Structure 1
């Protein structure tokens, strides 16, 4: 009788131990799965959200204004530089014009790409015409960089200026080209300085910094060619 009770007690204890082990294992598995899933899911969601926020906030209105203004500004510089190959008499002026073309044409393509990716309008070639901009003339060089559609951009030449440059040749062309390009460069430096101070898009502020550095150096070079200190 005692032997039977002992076996029964042992069987009950064994059953209880198995049940407890199963419960603990189930809890452990559920907890581990939940925690792992929660951490991975939470981290992934956080990363995706941060990535979306970064993409959405990658640029601001100033970046758009900078690109939309600098594209036609650069196009006019290219138009001026293109005249130098046949009309300039100075090899130094021709070299400078070639460097302007080499630097600014790729920047136009880059800025056009930014605007397309942002869903913004890319200025057409006609936007480089001063007549298409109210109040535009070369006397606007003191104005801060603004959206090209509402005000004159600093340093831009008007139609009569460009007509005179096209008609000039030799030494007269050299002097006129250098004088105009100095004003044009000063305008670009002003616009780029505004972008550096107020822009948000890293690539745009970096380009603005490059423009300030390169065109400031070219202004000094052109002043030297004109015999100015």
Structure 2
């Protein structure tokens, strides 16, 4: 009788241990999921946080760079649109295509940054009168409404010359803003775009100067 009692006790103990093991592994015998751990709240690779348009820290300089470069790019696109039916020089037409190809996607990119950062697209960076966008402090190179009207009225070589002169000033303003971002910004993605602006628009300024030299 005592042997039976001891056997029953051992059996109960084994059943209890098996139940604890199943509880630890889950009903299907697999290991517990990471979500069960209180420490598994940090963003993992591939998470929404790591897929943000401009991941990492950002500061006021990054925000201002995007807020000001968006209208700056928009005006460059307005100037490029005027070339249709007005530009005559092949070099001007080629640069117009390059500006449209580069700056429209960059506008969408910077809008995504601001949305991801929870910041508005526009901010008061000074009053001015640059083609409806403002041209206050930090908005160097923005054209006035009269500049845009004069450009729209030009045709042929007159347009090509005016476009080159105005776009040189416009690009130089963008390069100055981008250099400010490189000095003062902290977001790696924003600083990379600023680097791209400095490189590409400086090269386009050099090409525009060569065009002016032959017109």
Q: Same fold (TM over 0.5)?
A: yes
Contact 2:174 2:197 in 1 (8 A): yes
Cα 1:58/1:131, change in 2 over 3 Å: same
Q: Per-residue deviation at 1:200?
A: 1.7
| Equivalent position SS for 1:86 | coil
Residue in structure 2 matched with residue 182 of structure 1 by the alignment: 168
Q: What is the root-mean-square deviation in Å for CA atoms of aligned residues?
A: 3.8
Q: 1:166 and 2:166 equivalent?
A: no
Name stretches of at least 5 consecutive residues in structure 2 with no aligned partner. Answer: 1-31
Q: TM-score, normalised by structure 2?
A: 0.70
Contact 1:72 1:128 in 2 (8 A): no
- Structure having the higher Rg: 1
Contact 1:130 1:159 in 2 (8 A): yes
Q: Larger helix proportion, structure 1 or 2?
A: 1
Matches within 5 A, 1:186-225: 186-197=172-183, 198-202=185-189, 204-225=190-211
- Count residues with an aligned counterpart: 203
Residue in structure 2 matched with residue 25 of structure 1 by the alignment: none
Cα 1:72/1:41, change in 2 over 3 Å: same
Q: What is the distance in 2 between the residues matched to 1:128 and 1:214?
A: 27
Residue in structure 2 matched with residue 44 of structure 1 by the alignment: 39
Residue in structure 2 matched with residue 130 of structure 1 by the alignment: 130
Q: Per-residue deviation at 1:53?
A: 9.4
Q: Per-residue deviation at 1:46?
A: 6.9
Cα 1:86/1:131, change in 2 over 3 Å: closer
Matches within 5 A, 1:52-67: 58-60=56-58, 61-67=60-66
Residue in structure 2 matched with residue 142 of structure 1 by the alignment: none
| Equivalent position SS for 2:39 | helix
Residue in structure 1 matched with residue 29 of structure 2 by the alignment: none
Q: Per-residue deviation at 1:70?
A: 0.5
Q: TM-score, normalised by structure 1?
A: 0.66
